[in-house]
Structure 1
Amino acid sequence: MTKFYARRRLSIVAALTGLIASAGMLNGPSASAALPTPVSASTARTYLASLTVSTESRTGYNRDLFPHWITISGTCNTRETVLKRDGTNVVTDSACAATSGSWYSPYDGATWTAASDVDIDHLVPLAEAWDSGAGSWTTARRQAFANDLTRPQLLAVTDNVNQAKGDKDPAEWMPSRTAYRCTYVRAWVQVKYYYGLSVDSAEKSALQGYLASC
C-alpha cells in the first residue's frame, strides 16, 4: 500500500508540474530562444565575396507569394513567436496574443510596451529577396524564408521605422542607431548567403564599406 500511494503521489506531482509549466508558457514571461547571433564580420566578408553580383528586377512580385505568418506552435504564429522571443516579461492570452510586455527596437533604440507599436521586420525584405533570386523559388521555400526563425532574419522593431525601411537594401537604408549597423550588415550577408541570393553592385559596395569598419 505504501509503495502504491507513493507512486500515485509522484504521478500527481508530475501532472501538476506539467500543468504549471504549460500555464507559465501561456501566461508568464517569455522563455523563448534569443534572436540568432549573426556570423562574425570576417565570415560575413568571406560570404559577401562569394555572392553573385546582379542587377535586380521586381517583375511579378507579390507579397502574397511569401506565405506568412504561419503557425509555429499551438496557437502561436510567427509574429507572436518573435514578439515572445524578443520581448521582456511578455504575457500572452489563450490565443497567443501579447497582452503586456516591453520591446526594445535595436534599429532606433526605442522601447515599447504595446505590441501594436512593434512590427516584425524581415531583415532582408521580401521584395528584395524576390529581386535577388526568390522569384524562381517554390512557394514552400518562399514560405520558409518569410518565417525563418533560425537565421537572424526576423526581429521586433518600431513599426514606423520598419515602414520607413520598406524594401530598401543597405545602400538605401541603414538603422539610425549606429551601434547596430555592424550586426545588421553581418545578418544581411548571412541571410543572403544562406539562401543563395544575389546582391547588386551598389548594395555590395555599401556592405563592404560597413563590414570594413566592423
Structure 2
Amino acid sequence: MEVGDDAVVTGADAPTAVATEEPTGTSAHDDDDDESARDRDPDDAVTGSALQMLYELEVKGRAPKTGYDRDLFGWRDDVDHNGCDTRNDVLRRDLDDITLKSGGCVVLGGSLTSDYTGDTFDFIRGDSNNIDIDHVVALSNAWQTGAQQLSEEELLDFGNEPVNLLAVESSVNRSKSDGDAATWLPPRKSYRCEYVARQIQVKHDYDLWVTPPEFDAMEGLLLDCDEDEFGNDDWPDRHDGDVKPEPAPEYEPEPQYEPKPDPKPESKTSGGGSSGSSSESSSSGSSGGSGSSESGTSGGGGVYFKNCDAARDAGAAPVHAGDPGYAGHLDRDGDGIGCEWS
C-alpha cells in the first residue's frame, strides 16, 4: 500500500480507492464539441497556470507496473542534506506547535490541520501513528506514467520532492491508495483545486504523462477553479518550524528508605537451619527461573519481513519493538516503530 502510493505506515487494513463525492472523470465539454479538450493549445490557458501545464502534458494510457519497487525512490532519505530525513522534514513543515527531540530533527509531537479534510488533531510519536506522509502523485502511479524512464538520481529527487509530499491523517491516505485524479480527490472540496494543481506541477516538472480519464478529471476541475498559485514548499532547516519551547525537565524526588530492623538471632536448632537453607534455595531457584525466562523472550518470534511492503501485505504494519517481525531494517529512524511511514 502506498502513502500516496505506499501507505506505509500503518494499519492492517488493505487500502481501497474510494470514489470522490462528485463525479471527477468527466470533461467540462460536451462530447460533440468540434475541438477535443486534449488537443487544446497551451496558449488557451493563462501563462504559468496549472491548466496551461496540463495542456503541455502528454496524454496516453498507463504503462505496466513491471519493475516497480518503492525503494527505488529512496523515500525518507536526507536528499536536501540538512541532516534530517524527509519524513521529519515534512512534519516540521506541516505541523504547528511541534516539539523536537534534541538535535532539532525528530518531531516528537505537534498539531496538524489536514489539507484533505480540514480537521485538526494532535500528533504524538508512537501514539497509533495517526499521520501518514502522502505522495500527492503516488509512487506507483508515477512509475506507470513515465517515472520508470527517470535516472536513479531523478527517482530519488521525485520520491522526496517537497511539492509532492503532505502530512495527512492515515485513515484518509489509506482510502486514496495509488489513485489518480479520476478515481480519488480529497474529501475537502475547497482543497481540490490546489491538490490537482500540485499533481500537474509534479508531473510537468518530471516529464510524466496523464491518462485520458485523468486529463478529463483535471481539466473539468480546473476550469471551475480560481487562478492557481504554486508554492515551493521548501524544506525547513534543522530546528526550524513552528517549534514550541521544550518544557523544563521534571525531577522526581529520590525515594527515602527507612532503616531495616536488626535481624532476629537465628535458632540454634538444626531443623530450623535446614529449613532456612531450603527456603533460600527454593527462592533463589524461582528467581533464577524467572530471569532466565525474561532473557529468552524474543521480539522477532521467528517472523521475518523483507521490507515494509511485506509487513503491510501481512497486515502487521506498523511493527513495534517487541512485536513478531520487528527488525532494524524496518525502523530507519530508530524510534522503536517500524513501517510507520508512508
User: Which TM-score band applies after superposition, normalised by the shorter structure?
Assistant: 0.7 to 0.9
CA distance in 2, matches of 1:107, 1:203: 19
The alpha carbon displacement at 1:74 in A equals 5.1
Larger radius of gyration: 2
* 2:66 match: 59
* 1:99 match: 108
For the pair 1:136 / 2:156, whether they are aligned, the reply is no
* 1:158 match: 169
Q: How does 1:20-99 map to 2 (within 5 A)?
A: 43-57=49-63, 58-71=65-78, 72-73=80-81, 75-94=83-102, 96-99=105-108
Deviation string, structure 1 residues 78-111 (Cα, Å, up to 9, x no partner):
0101101111011111363222210111101222
Q: TM-score, normalised by structure 1?
A: 0.76
Give the alignment partner of residue 123 of structure 1, picking from 117, 121, 136: 136
* 1:177 match: 188
The alpha carbon displacement at 1:48 in A equals 0.6
CA distance in 2, matches of 1:50, 1:173: 23
* 1:111 match: 120
Supply the RMSD in Å over aligned alpha carbons: 1.7
The alpha carbon displacement at 1:73 in A equals 4.8
Equivalenced residue count is 173
Q: TM-score, normalised by structure 2?
A: 0.48
Which amino acid counterpart does residue 108 of structure 1 have in structure 2?
T
* 2:159 match: 146
Q: Structure 1: which 5+ runs fail to align?
A: 1-39
Q: Structure 2: which 5+ runs fail to align?
A: 1-45, 226-342
Q: Percent identity?
A: 39
CA distance in 2, matches of 1:53, 1:107: 27
The alpha carbon displacement at 1:112 in A equals 2.1
Residues 163 and 210 of structure 1: is their aligned pair in 2 closer, same or farther, counting only changes over 3 Å?
same
Residues 41 and 113 of structure 1: is their aligned pair in 2 closer, same or farther, counting only changes over 3 Å?
farther
Deviation string, structure 1 residues 113-135 (Cα, Å, up to 9, x no partner):
12521111111111111011011
Higher share in helix: 1
CA distance in 2, matches of 1:118, 1:139: 28
The alpha carbon displacement at 1:166 in A equals 1.1
Which amino acid counterpart does residue 107 of structure 1 have in structure 2?
Y
Higher share in strand: 1
CA distance in 1, matches of 2:75, 2:198: 21
